[in-house]
Amino acid sequence: MPEKRGKIPSGLVLLYGGASICLIITIAPFLWMFLSSIKPESEILKMPPDWLPHNVTLQHYLDLITKAHFMRNLLNSVIVAISATLATLLVNSMAAFVFAKYRFPLRDRLFNFLLATMMIPGQVTMMPVFILLKEMHLLNTYTGLILPGAASVFAIFLLRQYMMSIPDSLIEAARIDGCPEFFIFWKIMIPLSMPAIATLTIFTFMGAWNEFLWALIIMLDESRYTLPVALAALSGGEHGLEWGLLMAGSVVTIIPVLAVFLSMQKYYIEGIAATGIKE
Amino acid sequence: MVFTPASHHRTMKKIHLTTALLLILCLLLSRQAFAGNDRTITIWAMGAEGDKLLAVARAFEAENPGVRVRVQTIPWGEAHAKLITAYVGGHTPDIAQLGTTWTAEFNAMNALLPLDRYLSRERDGTSRDNPSPNDISSSDFFKGAWKTVNFNGTIYGIPWYVETRCLYYRTDILQKAGIAKAPETWEELESTGIKLAHPPSTYGILLPERDEQALLPFIGQAGGKILDENGEPRVDSEPAERALAFYVKLFDMGIAPRGTMKDVNLVQTFAEENPPFAMFISGPWMLTQLAEKAPQLKGKWGVAPLPKDRAASSYMGGSNLVIFKGSKNPDLAWSFMQYLSSRENQIAWFKSTGDLPSRPDAWSDPALADDSFLAAFRVQLETAEPPPGLPEWEQMADVIARRMEQAVLKQKSIREALAEINQDIAVMLKRRTEPQPSSYKFAVLGCTALIILAGFFLYFRRALQEEGGASPHTVPVKKVAGPGIWTTLFLLPALSILAIFLFLPIIASFLMSLTNYDLYSLASWQEMKVVGMANYQKIIADPRFWKSVYNTFVFSIVGGPITIIVALAAALAVEKMSKMRALYLLGFFLPVVTTLVAVAIVWKWIYHPRFGLLNALLMMFSVSPRDWLSNPHTALPALIAMAVWKNFGYTMIILLSGLQAIPKTYYEAADLDGAGTLTRFREITIPLLKPTLFLVTTLTTIGYLQFFAEPYVMTQGGPIDSTLSVVLYLYQKGFKFYLMGEAAATSFILFFLIFAISMVQIIMGRKSEAHL
């Protein structure tokens, strides 16, 4: 917190100065990652390290593309992340709508019960779910990777909190006009919840894109690996790590999530502005 | 052959010809089809080995046209879990690399193909139809290595590469003390040690206080064994007592340091001008480490076989190659294993990876024979003994290490410690021999399940009755399709997925916590036994569990508030910004969107003792470099710093949406009143942000109490359990020792801990919500 009053420029200097130091700490590892990925192997392990490469090379990226399954892994990640996001948004926004706007027997009990399950660590259910998926013949499939996580208590919670702030009067008015319930959900609640949905989209996409342990266990063939698993496989050996290749792989792994965040962020801010007018 | 009785010779001839042609065509086609489908094998190998294996596989394919070898690399850390799940899921590869101690586990699960039929022909001396130089027999391998694939006389694998422990010593320091050569016997070890040791600054040899791999060679040298021929524990025998007594004596006489030396960086300390110890015991990987990390020490150190007592002995480790029972192509898999085991390929493998060949005859190659350091390992391999090949070994090792530490630290007498090890091992081995009627098991588990379901039913039923009087709808119901149906329709997808993949598995997991569900149970349900609350008692009595609880609390109590404060500051700053707001927002959020695997790779580099950015930065301020992740005092803070860096952006986004929901009019009114920044913050921002703050506090606490990925990827819980979290403890129980029952019990204890904390927070949150 800047201590001076926000109006005078020195407060602004403090604000931007503090934020900039924070920003440098936050992005330095990424800068390092990117710069290392375009350094030739000979420049990588140096002490003290050089930040800027003397000779820029794209060799690590070319090596990555020619790795047996890397492009396939990239495609897998795209398919999984997009379908997981769509499934999560649809399934959970419907449930959140009900919990936010309908009153039905046991609503609060059920909701509290769901919240309580959030406290159970994911590892608890790993083995039973794995055996279940095996019986359903869903191992090594995209469905097996996506379905168990499609319904999320956190997503329901987040959307419900937001939807509760949408006035009931809108729904009542729509009902008087003879709107069917699904129409109310789809044409009124969803558009009005866009900021929350945008937030959830980022989180879900991110979560699905970055999912590691489950993806590793469910996907049994290397050609079915998602990017993080493929990256971990690359970094498997403690000795003789190919830092350049790993850094290039890391860069490729984070760029799609960044792209989604960047595009959603605009939408996200617009959405917040829109609700600002509404309030 | 096809034979049809026919009257006409000509037609017969024609038919015969056509049939023959068809047959030939069929054969050709089928052969091609076979070549396409059935001449493929898959092999799983770990880490660097997997990458290097690819080239070998290509060479094999070139020698065997039509054959395809698919090499799949699994990261070492996940290999064990991955292999087990692959087996449970029925998706095993044809061949896999298995750590020597894992082979027993997979054999216990009945997962491996016996290989005797490929070996026996050579054994009984009968000649083969097509003898090849690649033929394998037990005599080709080191005796100790062969023991790791031999289970009750049946062979389940082939040793691929080996490792053993030798004595590393500083030649210059020994010479200074008037000692010409490394100690060869226990007496010489003792006398050398006395000459070198001047406690508390200098000692003779560095020995771990708590490491079963360090003690086993001594027991072997004294002529003892962990288990006898009948599989009965023999840790309370005279040789084991002699070994532990000698081991403890080395500490008592000041030859080996107690405690203080635990946290040192072995290579760095050993390379000092006057190191605190001139000898230590380690494996072949130390050769490269010393050469690379302490080049200045060249010519001042040597390696020797471990000192003998009644016999020579050392620890034997390494990796085996096995064929899984599910393999569709065991013959082809075997020929590839033969290929990998041939002398020339073992030599080539050593040259490419540095892994020591499992065949003694490969060691005559100049690449190995001319290396004077390797000579010690060559000698030691002849007498090295693997630990007992039992799936319970990991648990036994844990017990031995713990009791041995107690003996070294004088908390227990030698006899007491050994008697307790013996007792514990006997219990572990007994557990699987006592059968339990399946009707009993099903009755107990079935009843428990019914009670749980009945409990839920009653809970919701009572709630239903309590709610009975309230009006069912907030808004007037439409005439035709009221929310009643829509409630069901909208809830159905989410609730059914949650029921199948969350609620039911939780109940299954609870039932599992009442049983001894383990590796044997994975292989067959019959092996599972109901043990009641024994798992819970065991966990609560385990000091490692409480250590993990402590670490987890430190992580959330320190990491949680730091994360929220940094996030709040960032959110307030971003909210105030008029320019470049998007840039800052993106920058702060960047770590959140990044894959943890990528983050961990970069941060490992940042914390790297030699090439790390952090040490480089500190050196600019002339602070001496540290090995951040290997020091028990800095490892947890290092992980907390990384976690705050990674997570604050997430919290910031939620706080930001809360900040933006605060109507601007409040601030405008405050401005008119002339309120300062601080006043506005205290009087408007904080109170109106309370629900959001409550939300992020709950989320952050729950998230940090489940802290797992960071230590899992970065430290595996080490050093000395200083970063062991509860979930990691649970994960290790479940997926390292495969004690699924105990793991499930741990998860429920964790659940109750989290539940208690969350209840407090929820009650506090309710109060503030009611206040608004």
Please give the mean pLDDT across all residues of chain B: 81
Determine the pLDDT at residue B127: 45
A118, A170, A192, A220: best to mutate for the B interface, most B CBs within 10 A: A220
Q: Which two tokens stand for residue A104?
A: 């039905």
**pLDDT tens across B322-345, in order?**
999 988 899 999 999 999 999 999
| 8 Å CB contact between B146 and B159 | yes
**pLDDT tens across B222-254, in order?**
999 898 888 889 898 999 999 999 999 999 999
Determine the pLDDT at residue A171: 84
Mean pLDDT throughout B711-728?
77
**pLDDT tens across B438-455, in order?**
788 888 888 888 988 888
| Contact: B497, A175; criterion CB under 8 Å | no
Does the pLDDT of residue B474 top 60, yes or no?
no
Determine the pLDDT at residue B247: 96
B502, B654, B698: best to mutate for the A interface, most A CBs within 10 A: B502
A46 touching B (Cβ < 8 Å) = yes
A102, A159, A164, A170: best to mutate for the B interface, most B CBs within 10 A: A102
Between B483-498 and A142-150, two packed helices, what is the crossing angle to 10 degrees? 130
B601/B607 Cα distance (integer angstroms): 10
A184 touching B (Cβ < 8 Å) = no
List phi, psi (to 5°) of B243.
-65, -50
Interface of A with B in 81-100 (CB under 8 A): 90-92, 94-95, 97-98
Does the pLDDT of residue B305 top 90, yes or no?
yes
Determine the pLDDT at residue B3: 38
Spell out the SS3 assignment of B371-386. CHHHHHHHHHHHHEEC
pLDDT class for B192, splitting at 50, 70, 90?
Answer: very high
Does the pLDDT of residue B413 top 90, yes or no?
yes
Interface of B with A in 659-678 (CB under 8 A): 660-661, 663-664, 676-678
Query: Which chain B residues have a beta carbon less than 8 Å from that of A19?
Result: 570, 573-574, 577, 584
Interface of A with B in 98-117 (CB under 8 A): 98, 101-106, 109-110, 114, 116-117
- Cα–Cα distance list, A267 to A191, B479, B604 (Å): 12, 37, 35
From the list A27, A109, A182, the residue facing B587 with the nearest CB is: A27
Q: How far is A54 from chain B (nearest CA, A)?
A: 18
A225 vs B771, more confident: A225
| 8 Å CB contact between B95 and B157 | no
| Contact: A1, B677; criterion CB under 8 Å | yes
B356 vs B73, more confident: B356
| Contact: B677, A29; criterion CB under 8 Å | no
**Which segments within B149-276 are labelled E, that is strand?**
150-151, 154-155, 158-164, 166-170, 203-206
Q: How far is A180 from chain B (nearest CA, A)?
A: 8
Determine the pLDDT at residue B465: 73
B319/B353 Cα distance (integer angstroms): 13
pLDDT class for B62, splitting at 50, 70, 90?
Answer: very high
Query: Which chain A residues have a beta carbon less than 8 Å from that of B611?
Result: 45-47, 49
Determine the pLDDT at residue B264: 58
In 3D space, the residue among B549, B544, B639, B568 whose CA is nearest the CA of residue B600 turns out to be: B639
| Contact: A216, B78; criterion CB under 8 Å | yes
Query: Which chain A residues have a beta carbon less than 8 Å from that of B500?
Result: 132
A63 vs B206, more confident: B206
| Contact: A25, B597; criterion CB under 8 Å | no
**pLDDT tens across B99-120, in order?**
888 888 888 888 899 998 888 5
Determine the pLDDT at residue B648: 86
Mean pLDDT throughout B722-747?
82
B465 touching A (Cβ < 8 Å) = no
Determine the pLDDT at residue A235: 67
What are B687's strand-pairing partners? Answer: none
Spell out the SS3 assignment of chain A. CCCCCCCCHHHHHHHHHHHHHHHHHHHHHHHHHHHHHCCCHHHHCCCCCCCCCCCCCCHHHHHHHHCCCHHHHHHHHHHHHHHHHHHHHHHHHHHHHHHHHCCCCCHHHHHHHHHHHCCCCCHHHHHHHHHHHHHCCCCCCHHHHHHHHHCCHHHHHHHHHHHCCCCHHHHHHHHHCCCCHHHHHHHHHHHHCHHHHHHHHHHHHHHHHHCCHHHHHHCCCHHHCCHHHHHHHHCCCCCCCCHHHHHHHHHHHHHHHHHHHHHHHHHHHHHHHHHHHHC
B38 vs B289, more confident: B289
**pLDDT tens across A19-48, in order?**
888 888 888 888 888 888 888 777 776 666
Q: Is residue B404 classed as helix, strand or coil in its secondary structure?
A: helix
Residue B204 gets which letter from DSSP?
E
- Cα–Cα distance list, B186 to B223, B238, B310, B373 (Å): 13, 17, 9, 21
B688 vs B44, more confident: B44
Query: Which chain B residues have a beta carbon less than 8 Å from that of A141?
Result: none
Q: Which two tokens stand for residue B424?
A: 């514990």
A125, A161, A254: best to mutate for the B interface, most B CBs within 10 A: A125
From the list A203, A217, A246, the residue facing B85 with the nearest CB is: A217
Q: How far is B353 from chain A (nearest CA, A)?
A: 10
Mean pLDDT throughout B464-490?
59
A156 touching B (Cβ < 8 Å) = yes
A103/A168 Cα distance (integer angstroms): 12
**pLDDT tens across B505-560, in order?**
988 888 888 888 877 776 677 777 888 888 898 888 888 888 898 888 888 888 88
B753 touching A (Cβ < 8 Å) = no
| Contact: A102, B595; criterion CB under 8 Å | no
From the list A92, A175, A181, the residue facing B476 with the nearest CB is: A175
- Cα–Cα distance list, B725 to A201, B47, B210, B708, B728 (Å): 30, 25, 20, 7, 5
Does the pLDDT of residue B312 top 90, yes or no?
yes
From the list A102, A231, A275, the residue facing B483 with the nearest CB is: A102
| Contact: B587, A15; criterion CB under 8 Å | no
Residue B473 gets which letter from DSSP?
-
Does the pLDDT of residue B467 top 80, yes or no?
no
Residues of chain A with pLDDT under 70: 1-9, 45-48, 68, 235-241, 266-279
b (16+ CB within 10 A) / e for A227-239: bbbbbbbbbbbee
| Contact: B754, A119; criterion CB under 8 Å | yes
**pLDDT tens across B566-615, in order?**
888 888 888 777 777 777 887 887 887 788 878 888 888 788 776 777 87
List phi, psi (to 5°) of B135.
-55, 145
Does the pLDDT of residue B97 top 60, yes or no?
yes
> Model pTM?
0.71
B408/B247 Cα distance (integer angstroms): 8
Please state which of the ranges A48-52, A210-214, B669-673, B722-726 shows the lowest mean pLDDT. Answer: A48-52
Q: How far is B75 from chain A (nearest CA, A)?
A: 4
| Contact: A26, B599; criterion CB under 8 Å | no
Residue B386 neighbours by CB under 8 Å, 6+ apart:
B100, B101, B144, B145, B147, B148, B315, B316, B317
- Cα–Cα distance list, B306 to A247, B183, B285, B655, B700 (Å): 42, 8, 16, 61, 51
B657 touching A (Cβ < 8 Å) = yes
Residue B507, number of CB atoms within 10 A of its CB: 16
B455 touching A (Cβ < 8 Å) = no
Please state which of the ranges B195-204, B305-314, B397-406, B707-716 shows the lowest mean pLDDT. Answer: B707-716
